[in-house]
Each structure stands twice: as C-alpha cells, then as structure tokens.
Amino acid sequence: MGRTVFYTATTLDGYLADEHDSLDWLFKQDVDPEGPLGYEPFIRGAGAMAMGATTYDWVLDRNERTGDAWAYEIPCWIFTHRDLAPVTDDVIITTDPVPDVHGRMVEAAGGANGKDLWVVGGGDLAAQFAEHGLLDEVVVSIAPVTLGAGRPLFPRRFDLALLEHARNGDFLCARYAVRGPLAAGSLDT
Ligand SMILES: NC(=O)c1ccc[n+]([C@@H]2O[C@H](COP(=O)([O-])OP(=O)(O)OC[C@H]3O[C@@H](n4cnc5c(N)ncnc54)[C@H](OP(=O)(O)O)[C@@H]3O)[C@@H](O)[C@H]2O)c1
C-alpha cells in the first residue's frame, strides 16, 4: 500500500489560504513543478485523492472563472455534510467516516501494492486522517509569505519527523513523517 500524504503549499506562518480562501499569495511564486518535491512527480505517484468541501468549492469556482476543466485523473473523495454535485464520474461526494473512505481510496489506488493517496486539504481534514492513524506524511512547500490569519495548515498537536528538505524556486520544501499525537509533557521542555 502506498503512503497517505498531506501534500500542500503553505505560508511561513502556517496558512493554506487567507480568510477569504484566496491563494493569490501562492500563484505569484516561482516553482519548478518537476523539481525537488514538486507537484508533477507527486501526482504521478498518486492513485486517489480526498479534499474538504471548501477546497472543492474553491477548485470549482476557479475553473468557472478560468474556463478550465477538472484537472485530476484519479478518483477524488469530497468530504461534506452538504448535498454537493460531483463534477465528474471520478468525484465521489461522501459523508462517511474517514477510515471507511480511506479504505476505499486504498482500493482505488491499487490495494496492497498500490499508489500513494493524496490528502489535498484543508488542514483539519488532514488532521482527521492523522487522528485515525491514517496519515503517513506531510509534505509542505513553504512560500516566503506571512498572512497573519487564514485557513490553518494543521490545527492539531502532532509530532512529526523531518525526512527530507529542498529548495524549489521560491519555496522551502519539507517532507515529514507523522509520528503521532504530540507526546504529553513535550510542551514543557
Ligand atoms: N495552499 C494549498 O496548497 C491549499 C491546499 C488545500 C486547500 N487550500 C485552501 O485552503 C482552504 C481550506 O479550507 P478549509 O480549512 O475550510 O478546509 P476544507 O477541508 O477544504 O473544508 C472544510 C469543510 O469540509 C467538510 N468536512 C471536513 N471534514 C469532514 C468530515 N469528516 N465529514 C464531512 N465533511 C467534512 C466540512 O464542510 P461542510 O460541513 O460544509 O459540508 C468542512 O466545513 C480552501 O480555501 C482551499 O482552497 C489550499
């Protein structure tokens, strides 16, 4: 079975988007999508993905403005409590528990020897996977920007271990293993 990875860009102060869900701060940055920890090698290795309702809305709004089509060629689960419409046959709207959906994602990605699973975000959804022990890695591309407020990167307490780091254009990129909930007492040291 592949890794389950929260792969995302973030600001230096830990936001995925500003309070109005804008990513303007992100798209002005220089990046090589084929470069270190870049998007292209990552998406080639992914066999299924999941995102929350706000992120889905954001993608659909952007596509409407730009005229772009849904860009993903792998099954994508959308977590929501609302009655959202799937934009393609590969989009699955779900209210099911995270572990059940994770099992279906693993199957869709090829099972025991399958591809990676991409948790797109937001941060709370990624943390829900981690709380169920179902998130292996967090890969962040840190933009040289601070916002002061916005949608948080990972709003729970977890221990991570740095596995890899690199520069890609304007970004500092880092790959972490999720070790588990932040150990009691580790805040006092
Ligand atoms: N920087 C980046 O690369 C990057 C990456 C990802 C996202 N983003 C942006 O960051 C923002 C993230 O927004 P967000 O923090 O609101 O997170 P989100 O995960 O996109 O959306 C949160 C919503 O998802 C639904 N949800 C989450 N967990 C659920 C569960 N277990 N079961 C059912 N529904 C569940 C709920 O929606 P309902 O209750 O309304 O149904 C919840 O309000 C968006 O603007 C997105 O575009 C940026």
pLDDT at 1: 80
Q: Is the pLDDT of residue 125 over 60?
A: yes
- Name the nearest CA neighbour of 12 among 169, 140, 142: 142
- Name the nearest CA neighbour of 171 among 28, 58, 72, 63: 28
**155 C-alpha to center of ligand 1: Å?**
12
Cα–Cα distance measured from residue 58 to residue 42, given in angstroms and rounded to the nearest whole number: 21
Q: Kindly report the length of the chain.
A: 189
- Name the nearest CA neighbour of 71 among 101, 54, 51: 51
- For 181, the 3-state DSSP assignment is strand
What's the mean pLDDT when you consider all of the chain?
A: 96
**171 C-alpha to center of ligand 1: Å?**
23
Residues at CB less than 6 angstroms from ligand 1: 8-10, 16-17, 21, 23, 26, 51-55, 58, 79-82, 95, 98, 120-125, 128, 151
pLDDT tens-digit series, residues 52-98 = 999 999 999 999 999 999 999 999 999 999 999 999 999 999 999 99
Q: Band the pLDDT of 181: cuts 50, 70, 90.
A: very high
pLDDT at 2: 94
Q: Is the pLDDT of residue 136 over 60?
A: yes
**Ligand 1 mutation target, pool 20, 60, 79, 119, most atoms within 8 A of CB:** 79
**42 C-alpha to center of ligand 1: Å?**
21
Which ranges of 1-160 does DSSP label H, i.e. alpha helix? 24-27, 39-44, 53-66, 98-108, 123-131
**78 C-alpha to center of ligand 1: Å?**
9
